[in-house]
Chain A
Amino acid sequence: MEQDAAEGQLQVRFVTKQEQYAVPDSPYAIQSNVQSAELNTLVNAILKETDVSSKRVEFDFLVCGELLSSSLTEHLQEKGVSTEETIEIEYLERFPAPAPQDCLMHDDWVSALQTNGNWILSGSYDNSLHIWTTKGQHKLVIPGHTSPIKAVSWVSVSGDQAVFASGSHDQSAMLWVWNIANNSVDCVVTCRGHDKGVECMSVSADASKLATGSWDNNICLWSASLSDEDNAPAKKRSKPDHGNTREPLATLKGHREAVSGVHWMDFNTIVSSGWDHLLKIWDCELNGIKQEIAGNKAFFDVDWSPLSNSMITASADRHVRLYDPRSTESIVKSTFTSHTGWVQSVRWSKTRDTLFLSAGCDGQVKLWETRSPRMPLYDLSGHEDKVLCCDWSNPALLISGSCDNTLRIFKAKNAFGSS
């Protein structure tokens, strides 16, 4: 035992990018079989030496670019790093565990949701849209679609007026205007152009354009403006109760099978994922494909993070994959494996470049750190059936919708990075 301990001496040096937690740059000799909990105690003790008033902070430790999840020796062995040299351990404040906050009951499966500020928009298989406050108060039920809603997205919230869009299997996308004060909603525009159900949608960052992906293998770009002026030939309004009907600005044809996910990368670039095992990056000005990334499974969802400039995808297996479209050698950067069923939806954090959410058919929502591919940071459990969608648009709220007719809200405590 003693011998083991003697052998297990390691020279480490602690570094951090978070200045308020900086410690002296001197090497420490520690046991090699320590885990992050012991390291935590050590760092806290060091911090205590410098500043007596400091509170205890939970840290995560990055060794060789990967989050320490097992003991230090095992981790180093896996990485193939010599234990002779001084090892640099970067520590950062641990993302605090999200706490379950609320459970919003629906009448049917929750298939789509998005938050914006204080509002939660959810779409359900009972063809209706729901608006909730983040506190869990049900504001509105919006019938209008004739088929299950598959995608919802806020376009803009300004003052009393909020605009949002919804896409449904009834082959249409709708633009809604919600008067918050009156709590009245109106369908301003109905976008008809798809031959089959709309599967996904995304609103551009400047809220001017809407992209929808559909089962007819096409991506349509729509104007997200409420006024009709850019639709040059004013179409005859066939359905006055649903407002105007709008034609797509452009139809991006290229996928050979259903488009399952679409996301704006910047103001005129879209990334889309399809059941044909392809990720495509489209140029919306030229309406052409910029790049094509082939996977080996049907993609169910894609999300783009401008913070880390990378994509995460959910596909018809148990893995979440991180893609870096600019990388030349290996496009798949890492694979995150923890789900036991299909992953239906993935969402980046809007504020942290290394965190993302994934929702799986195993009823789990997982919070991932990109540097820890083997183990998620947290499992947000609570759903009793397949989780179909998740959202992290509001940095404080991690919400997910499931087949058990519920929408669950987890509150992310305000961590350093998100402040």
Chain B
Amino acid sequence: MPPFKAGLLKRKIGSEEPKKTVAKDSSEDEGSDSGESEDLIRGDLNGADDATDSEQEAEGAHSDAEQDEVLFDDSADSTFGDEEQAEDASDESSELPDSEADESSEEEDDGDDVGESEQEGEAEDSGEESGIGQTHSGSSDDSEEKLTKQKQKQKKTKEIREKEVKEKRTKQKQVKGAKDSVDILADKIKETSVKTQPVAERDEYESGDTSDEEDRRNTVGNIPMWWYNEYPHVGYDLDGRKIIKPPQRDQIDEFLKKCEDPEFWRTVRDPATGQDVILSKEDLQLIARIRQGQVPNAAHDEYQPWVEWFTREVLATPVRAFPEHKRSFLPSRDQQKHVARIVHALKMGWTKTRRQIAKERRKKKVKQFYNLWGAAEEEQSRGIHKHIPAPKRALPGHAESYNPPPEYLLDKKEMKEWNKLAETPWKRKYTFLPTKHDNLRSVGAYERFIRERFLRCLDLYLAPRAIHMRLTISPEDLVPKLPSPRELQPFPTFEALAFKGHGGLVRSADFDPTGQYAVSGSDDGTVKVWETSTGRCLRTITLGQPVSRVAWTPAAGLSLVAAAVGNRLLLLNPGQDIGTHRVAARTDELLEEPPPSHDVVMDERTTTAVQWEKVKPDEWALGVRVAVTHFKPVIHITWHGRGDYIAVTLQDGASRAVIVHQLSRRRSQLPFSKAKGLVQCALFHPVTPRLFVATQRVVRIYDLVKQELVKKLLTGAQWVSAMAVHPAGDNLLVASYDRKCMWFDLELSSKPYQTLRLHGGAVRSVAFHRRYPLFASAGDDQNIVVSHGMVYNDLLQNPLLVPLKQLRGPEKREDLCVLDIRFHPTQPWLLAAGADATLRLYT
């Protein structure tokens, strides 16, 4: 046993000490009781068996309940007498020597115990025997007698004890005899239900009466007993025999009994059995306690000393040594939920402050009227939002009439058609056959009515209606945001002048560095110099052969025009009247005398390709100052920015297609040893010593100093026609015969930054403006497209390309339109060499 429990026990014992003797008594009594009860049960069994036998001995054993019961039937009066006797006996016994019982009770009990145990064995035997046969009935009778004796004895002792208790109590618990029998009965019932078990048990079995009563149980159950008012019996016992009502007593009997019977005041009638029951003192006491609102069991101590198992003081050996559970600190889950609900309601504003509630109440008091003329919005907000009404059915037409106009009735041909479409009725003109009836009465039922209603319903609920939000993407939104051309002025917008004078298509044109003059080369074998501002032809140089290319030298100190005529490259001085006299004269001076040839060393490969000629006097008179003959026709010429070098592209020149001439030393170079394709044109980089070489599909950039390939630009075009370098040198524009223009950002990639498809025909020429962010392209379609091409100094910003204007080009001749375009060096003007033998200046 753990120590604290031992302590506990100790205390309990201490507290119970004053009652020790009583408790001991009771415990002892209980012990005896238990023995009794066992005995009794056995007796019962026996009794049941011996019921018929015991009738004979009835007179002898007056206290036997079974006998009483049986006697009920035969002699009602005698039973009453019996009862009286029994009562008398009990009274007598109670009045019999108290002291003796007190003194000898212990000893007797001990003795009894022994005797009982002996009797038990006998009783068992007798039970068995009785089951077998009636031969040992005498012995069983003996035992029964013994039993009754014991019972009586016990009864006596009990009554004695009750008396003691009664004496201890005060006199106030007396029950008046005037009480109603019903009232008493109710009390009795109450008592039985409330009675604590041990006491009741003892009562039942110690008093012979009650035990008898118990056996004479009525089995009708809890029913209103007045149902049996009409009958002689009041119910049935356990064996199904009728329990006969006791004889009714009249008023006189009652009165006599009242007078005679001293126990009358505590006699009640049991409605279930109709028997009179004399309440014992204990019963009365119990009733009294209940009436006073006290605990019915007198033995119960209401004021037991409080044992403080759990104190706030810290004990050396506490009852519970483990720490408090976590649960004890936390609010319970349920509580938590409750709080959360309140908090949520607060948050959502469901809970209202007192003021709000008052306000609402006030509002309610004010009468609300329905606003008949209010806006429809309110109306809508109550109903379905955005209600889409179901599509209405078409109204019936004339054909559906019962008496349609004759033109709606199907004629033979239509009928034939109708019949033909029997397989595919949905192709018919009508879903019904227009029929003529004499009157509405003769119109038959429409057989498709149900079907059509059904289909209509299907349509309505299987095809949900929804407001279809159309994507409103206007085509303008898809076009990238570009500044409007108006903001990008100036640029050429209309044709200002037409330079007329050539006799054949003009192959090429160029401006002089100041823009005062323009030069053009034509298929009619002439080179013409024009005044830009008026379109006046100032000089015509006839060279005999078609001039494929002209280019004015960029050097300000020279007055030279390079012209490609057949296999020859001619450098012309346009003469005295063009440009500055001094410059023209100096140019002549410079070029008159070729430099000493000894320091010019050219290898064989070059010399076979190029021949620097001595200019003949007649050619000199024309203005030719230098002539170089090549082994193939010259298709393109380009000046280096300083005007000393000129690069020539030869047709089908293979590895020697590009030749660079140095003017000051009259020397030629072949920069490439291997042919990389059909070279279309070559251009000098405006700033660095680089050369752009365009072959059919690729543009290669070579470093002329390091003699290496720097970059290869993949144009993606089928056949490159021309190219132009941005004046800053970082961007290249390539035109192709397949209608495209490719803008290359050399810093960015070897692929085109943008491919411009602005033309309907082959693009033959592209040009950059030297000052303005403009470029233009022109070709075989009759349009010259001028675009804005802004290149930013910021490396992070890509060039901005905006097509600005389509200029109407010169007229078409033999599918050719514009052969060359060139921007004015200072003004935003564009010169186009046209196939119709004119040059056009756009401003």
A293 → chain B closest CB, angstroms? 17
Q: Does B582 contact A (CB under 8 A)?
A: yes
Q: Is the CB of B536 within 8 A of A296?
A: no
A359 → chain B closest CB, angstroms? 12
Q: Among residues 302 to 319 in chain A, which have CB atoms less than 8 Å away from a CB atom of chain B?
A: 316-318
A199 → chain B closest CB, angstroms? 9
Q: Which residue from chain A places its CB closest to the CB of B829 in the assembled complex?
A: A316
Chain A residues within an 8 Å CB radius of B827:
275, 298, 316
A170 to B581, CA, bound (A): 8
A403 to B489, CA, bound (A): 30
A215 to B538, CA, bound (A): 16
Q: Is the CB of B579 within 8 A of A386?
A: no
Given A195-B580, A275-B827, A298-B827, A361 and B496 contact (CB-CB distance below 8 Å): yes
Q: Is the CB of B580 within 8 A of A146?
A: no
B576 → chain A closest CB, angstroms? 7
Q: Does B643 contact A (CB under 8 A)?
A: no
Given A275-B826, A296-B490, A341-B496, A215 and B516 contact (CB-CB distance below 8 Å): yes
Q: Is the CB of B490 within 8 A of A171?
A: no
Chain B residues within an 8 Å CB radius of A171:
580-581
A361 to B538, CA, bound (A): 18
Chain A residues within an 8 Å CB radius of B294:
none
A109 to B536, CA, bound (A): 9
Q: Which of A170, A276, A342, A344 has a CB less than 8 Å from the CB of B843? A: A342
A388 → chain B closest CB, angstroms? 6
Q: Is the CB of B582 within 8 A of A169?
A: no
Q: Is the CB of B516 within 8 A of A403?
A: no
Q: Is the CB of B577 within 8 A of A297?
A: no
B494 → chain A closest CB, angstroms? 8
Q: Which of A195, A197, A403 has a CB less than 8 Å from the CB of B534? A: A403
Q: Does A123 contact B (CB under 8 A)?
A: no
A9 to B535, CA, bound (A): 54
Given A196-B579, A296-B489, A125 and B536 contact (CB-CB distance below 8 Å): yes
Q: Does B543 contact A (CB under 8 A)?
A: no
Q: Among residues 380 to 400 in chain A, which have CB atoms less than 8 Å away from a CB atom of chain B?
A: 386, 388
Q: Does B174 contact A (CB under 8 A)?
A: no
Q: Is the CB of A169 within 8 A of B534?
A: no
A147 to B496, CA, bound (A): 24
Q: Does B410 contact A (CB under 8 A)?
A: no
**Chain A interface residue count, Cβ-Cβ cutoff 8 angstroms:** 33
B838 → chain A closest CB, angstroms? 14
Q: Which of B490, B494, B533 has a CB less than 8 Å from the CB of A297? A: B490
Q: Among residues 59 to 113 in chain A, which have CB atoms less than 8 Å away from a CB atom of chain B?
A: 109, 111
Q: Which residue from chain B places its CB closest to the CB of A216 in the assembled complex?
A: B580
Q: Does B514 contact A (CB under 8 A)?
A: yes
Most buried by B among A171, A316, A318: A316
Q: Is the CB of B536 within 8 A of A196?
A: no
Q: Among residues 823 to 843 in chain B, which have CB atoms less than 8 Å away from a CB atom of chain A?
A: 826-827, 829, 843
Q: Does A119 contact B (CB under 8 A)?
A: no
B839 → chain A closest CB, angstroms? 15
**Chain B interface residue count, Cβ-Cβ cutoff 8 angstroms:** 24
Q: Among residues 203 to 224 in chain A, which have CB atoms less than 8 Å away from a CB atom of chain B?
A: 215-216
Given A316-B496, A342-B843, A146 and B577 contact (CB-CB distance below 8 Å): yes
Chain B residues within an 8 Å CB radius of A169:
577
A379 → chain B closest CB, angstroms? 20
Secondary structure of the A side of the interface? loop
Q: Among residues 462 to 520 in chain B, which have CB atoms less than 8 Å away from a CB atom of chain A?
A: 489-490, 494, 496-497, 514-516
A197 to B534, CA, bound (A): 14
Q: Is the CB of B534 within 8 A of A146?
A: no
Chain A residues within an 8 Å CB radius of B514:
215, 257-258
Q: Does A336 contact B (CB under 8 A)?
A: no
Q: Does A282 contact B (CB under 8 A)?
A: no
Chain A residues within an 8 Å CB radius of B829:
316
A173 → chain B closest CB, angstroms? 15
B804 → chain A closest CB, angstroms? 16
Chain B residues within an 8 Å CB radius of A388:
534
Q: Is the CB of B576 within 8 A of A146?
A: yes
Q: Which residue from chain B places its CB closest to the CB of A215 in the assembled complex?
A: B516
A403 to B497, CA, bound (A): 12
A28 to B772, CA, bound (A): 57
Q: Is the CB of A361 within 8 A of B497?
A: yes
Chain A residues within an 8 Å CB radius of B490:
296-297
Q: Is the CB of B843 within 8 A of A317?
A: yes
Q: Is the CB of B580 within 8 A of A386?
A: no
Q: Which residue from chain A places its CB closest to the CB of B827 in the assembled complex?
A: A298
A318 → chain B closest CB, angstroms? 8
Q: Which of B577, B582, B843 has a CB less than 8 Å from the CB of A195? A: B582
Q: Which residue from chain A places its CB closest to the CB of B581 in the assembled complex?
A: A171
A368 → chain B closest CB, angstroms? 21
A296 to B496, CA, bound (A): 17
Q: Is the CB of B535 within 8 A of A386?
A: yes
Q: Is the CB of B489 within 8 A of A170?
A: no
A146 to B579, CA, bound (A): 13
Flag B542-586 by CB within 8 Å of A: 1 or 0 each: 000000000000000000000000000000000011011110000
Q: Which residue from chain A places its CB closest to the CB of B533 in the assembled complex?
A: A300
Chain A residues within an 8 Å CB radius of B536:
109, 125, 148, 403
A403 to B500, CA, bound (A): 12
Q: Is the CB of A196 within 8 A of B580?
A: yes
Given A342-B843, A386-B535, A257 and B581 contact (CB-CB distance below 8 Å): no
Q: Is the CB of A316 within 8 A of B582?
A: no
B624 → chain A closest CB, angstroms? 22
B86 → chain A closest CB, angstroms? 139
Chain A residues within an 8 Å CB radius of B580:
171, 195-196, 216
Chain B residues within an 8 Å CB radius of A215:
514, 516
Q: Is the CB of A170 within 8 A of B496?
A: no
Chain A residues within an 8 Å CB radius of B576:
146
Chain B residues within an 8 Å CB radius of A196:
516, 579-580
A405 → chain B closest CB, angstroms? 12
Flag A349-361 by CB within 8 Å of B: 1 or 0 each: 0000000000001
A109 to B490, CA, bound (A): 30
Given A196-B516, A316-B843, A342-B843, A386 and B826 contact (CB-CB distance below 8 Å): no
Flag A4-47 by CB within 8 Å of B: 1 or 0 each: 00000000000000000000000000000000000000000000
Q: Which residue from chain B places its CB closest to the CB of A342 in the assembled complex?
A: B496
Chain B residues within an 8 Å CB radius of A147:
577
A195 to B538, CA, bound (A): 18
Flag A118-134 by CB within 8 Å of B: 1 or 0 each: 00000001000000000
B555 → chain A closest CB, angstroms? 16
A147 to B535, CA, bound (A): 16
A131 → chain B closest CB, angstroms? 23
A409 → chain B closest CB, angstroms? 22
Q: Is the CB of B577 within 8 A of A170?
A: yes
Chain A residues within an 8 Å CB radius of B531:
148
- A residues sitting closer than 8 Å to B (CB atoms) are 109, 111, 125, 146-148, 169-171, 195-197, 215-216, 257-258, 260, 275-276, 296-298, 300, 316-318, 341-342, 344, 361, 386, 388, 403
Q: Could you list 11 A-B pairs, sorted by A, with CB under 8 Å? A: A109-B534, A111-B534, A146-B577, A215-B514, A257-B515, A276-B826, A296-B489, A318-B494, A342-B496, A388-B534, A403-B536
Excluding A317-B843, A341-B497, 13 further A-B contacts by CB distance (< 8 Å) are: A109-B534, A148-B538, A169-B577, A170-B581, A257-B514, A257-B515, A275-B827, A300-B533, A318-B494, A342-B497, A361-B497, A388-B534, A403-B536
User: Lowest 4 A-B CB distances belong to which pairs?
Assistant: A147-B577, A342-B496, A316-B843, A195-B580
